[in-house]
Chains A and B, each alone.
Chain A
C-alpha cells in the first residue's frame, strides 16, 4: 500500500518505507533482521512465519511492508476485510507462491525472488483451530459461485498448515495473541504456532521516540510547537504513533503555523481516545463526593458502559470502603448486578440506568466509613485477560469438555469437590498429582486449583515435580484435547464481553 508523498493523511505520508526508517522497538527490529537472514541463506528456515503482536499504531503493518520493500520481495496481502477461510488462505498462498502447484517452479527460480504473504490481524480470524476437510477446500477453491466454506471456516488450521509448508516468508500481525490462541486450549495452540513462527511482541512507543517523531513531522510540515504543548501531547498519548500523528494533523488544522498549550488542552477536552480517558480520576472524584448526585455526575463522562463501571466499583470498594460499609451496601451492589443482567433476558436496556446509579448512591451512603489513607483506585483484576479468574474459566471449560458434562453442572457439582480434594486444611498434599494427572490437568492448572501463583518459589518447585511425575497419563490427556478442538468455534466471541 505505497502512497505518494502528497497524501492527505499525515499518518500515511510519514509511514516509514524501509527497515532503517523505523523508530522505536530497536531490539525487535534486530530480531526481525535475524529472522530475515534465515531466508537469505537460500534455505527455508525452521520458523517460516513472523508473528508481530502489539498494540495499535506501533508499526506492525508498516514493518511488514518495509521488509518487503527492502528485500525487493513482492507482497500478497490478506486482511480481515476479506473472507479468510481455509480456501481463501490457501489460494492467496498459491497465488503468491509455489505452495501447492508451483513447487517445481520455485526450485528453479532465484531464492531471492520471494513473495511475502502478509496476513493482517490474525487475531480477528474467527473460529478455532479445527480443520475442515481437504475436499471442501478444493471444492471452494474451484468454484466461482456459492463457496462451500463460509466466513473464516478452518482459517486458523490452514494458517498452521501454511506455516509448516510454505516456501515463502509469512508475516502475521495481531493486537492480542490471546485471541488468536483461542479460548479452549490456548497453551497448546500457542505452542503449535510458536514452533513455526517467530513471535515478536511490540511494546507501546516510548516518550522519547514519540517526541522525536512529533518534532520531525512538525518540522517537515513547517509547523512550530511550544515545548509545554508537546509535553502535554505526549503525556496523554498511550504510545500509539499513528494516533500521535493524527493528533498533530488535527492540531495543525487550527494552529495557524504554531501549536500552543491552549490548543492542546482544548484538544484533550473534546478529542480524547478511550485509552486516554482517565477512569481513575473519575472514580476518585466519585469516591470523594459526598452525595449520590455528585458521584454519578463524576462518572458520567468516563465513557464506560454500566457493566464496566459496576466492575470498577465493586473491585475498588474492597480497598476503599471499610468492612462495615461494605456490609451495608452489599445488597445494593448485588441488586444492581441482577438488574443489569435484565438486558440479556429481555433486552431492557433501561435497566442500565440502575447499573450505575445504585453503586454511586451506595458509595455516597457509606462515604463516612472510608478506610484511612486516601482513595487509591486500581484496575479491576478480573477485567484483565490472563488473570486467575480467566484461567479458572479456561480450566473449568476444558475439564467440563473432557468429562462430557455441561460447564454449569461442572462448576456447581464437580468444581467444589475438586477444590475440596486439593484443600490443604482438609488434609490434601500439594504434591499429590493423582487426581490432576488422571483428569488431564496441566501443572499450571494444578497450581490454579491450589491458589498458588506459578511465579512463586513454591509454585515453581511444584511445577517441576509435576513435570517429572510419570508420562503414563499422556494418552488420556491427548484424547481430552481433541474433544475440545471441536467445541472451540462456538465459544470464541464471549471473551470480549467487556471489550
Chain B
C-alpha cells in the first residue's frame, strides 16, 4: 500500500469510497454522507447521452458522489428556440433513463419563449421524470416575464435553479446576478430557488441573497477558493447551502473540496453535500413516486 494514498483517503473521507444506497437512510447512519450533486452537464466526455452518462457516473463513483442532477443538453445554446430546447431536454431524458433514481434531471427552459417553456415543463416534469427547472443566460431573471414559469413550477413543487454570476470582467447581456435572483425570489415567496454559482464572486453573491430566505446558495462552477463554504454557512446557515459541481466542464474534485476541505462541522457538511438537496427535492419526488 502506498503511503501517499493515506493522504488522499483522508481528504476524501467525507467524499467516501463508493456511492451510497439508493434509500439515503443508510447514509445518515454511516460516516459516509449522502453526496448529491445538483449541477451537472453531459459534457467533458464524448458519445451519445447513454455513453456520456456512463462515463460521467464512473467519475462520480471515484469521488463518492451518489446522485447527480443533470441539465442542458449538448448544444449549450444561450438562447435556444423551442425545438432546440426539446432536443436538449431529450438528451438529458435519455441519460436519466440509464440510471433512474441516481441520475435526476432539471428541465431547461427559456424565458424568451414563455408559452413554449410551460409546455416543455409539462412534457418533461408534469408528465415526465424531471424534478426541477434550469434557467441559464437567455434573460435576466428579475424580469417579470419569468413569473408565469415560476408560478407553474411552484405549483408542481419544482425548484428553480438559476445560473448567477457577477463577473468583474462584465456579465453577458442575459446573465443574471444574485441580486436579480433575490428580486425574483422576493416576488415568489412560495417558490424554492437555487442560486447556481452564488454569483462566482461569492462574497457579493452570498450577501445579495442573504435576506431572501427562499434562495439557497449553490457552490459550483468557480475555483475552489478557501473560505467560500464557511462564509455561506456563516451568513445563510448550513440549511441554505448546497453542493454542485458544474462537471464535466469542471472537476468534481475541485468543487467537492469547497465543502470537504471547509472548516465546518460534519453536520454542516452533510447538509451541504446532500441532505439539503434531498429536502428540496423531496416533495416533488414523493409526488412522482421517486424514492429519495
A and B: real partners?
no
